[in-house]
Amino acid sequence: MARKVVNRKELRAQSDAAEAREKSAKKSAKDKPTKEKSAKVKKEKVAKDPKKAAAKKPSRKKVAKDVRMKAYWGVFNPSMKRLVLFEYADKKAAEKKASDLTASSRANHFIQLVKEAITE
């Protein structure tokens, strides 16, 4: 749904008209000076409030450096403990090691891709 466009000129005219009515009401009703004075004091307090300090600009955060990763094949036991690590190109050797470990014990060993950060 579309919203009604605010016409600032009309709002300003309404505000000026309201102020003019207030002034004429103040002139005609001089028998109530206490309310007028309290209204003036409130307006002056609002006008005299110190301006808020400018908000601090957020400091720039340093962008985290991209970490280079290297892929390996890991041989794992059923409890997800990594037993052996092979280079990515040596997948056949990793599969052979997993099958040998499975044959030697009753547990089913498997291979999984492992990525580790390269430290220089």
Is the distance from CB of 95 to CB of 110 less than 8 angstroms? no
Q: Can you give the pLDDT at residue 77?
A: 94
> What confidence category does residue 53 fall into, taking pLDDT thresholds of 50, 70 and 90?
low
For the record, the structure tokens of 46 come out as 């609002």
Least confidently predicted of 9-13, 24-28, 92-96, 97-101: 24-28
Which of 103, 115, 23, 14 is CA-nearest to residue 71? 115
pLDDT of residue 42: 59
Digit-coded pLDDT (tens) for 64-112: 888 899 999 999 999 999 999 999 999 999 999 999 999 998 899 999 9
pLDDT higher for 28 or 78? 78
Task: Domain ranges for the chain, please list them.
Answer: 69-117
Q: How many helices (H) and strands (E) does the chain have?
A: 3, 3
Predicted confidence band of residue 63 (pLDDT cuts 50, 70, 90): confident
Q: What region, left, alpha or beta, does residue 56 occupy, with left being phi > 0 and alpha being psi -120 to 50 degrees?
A: beta
Contact 101, 109 (CB under 8 A): yes
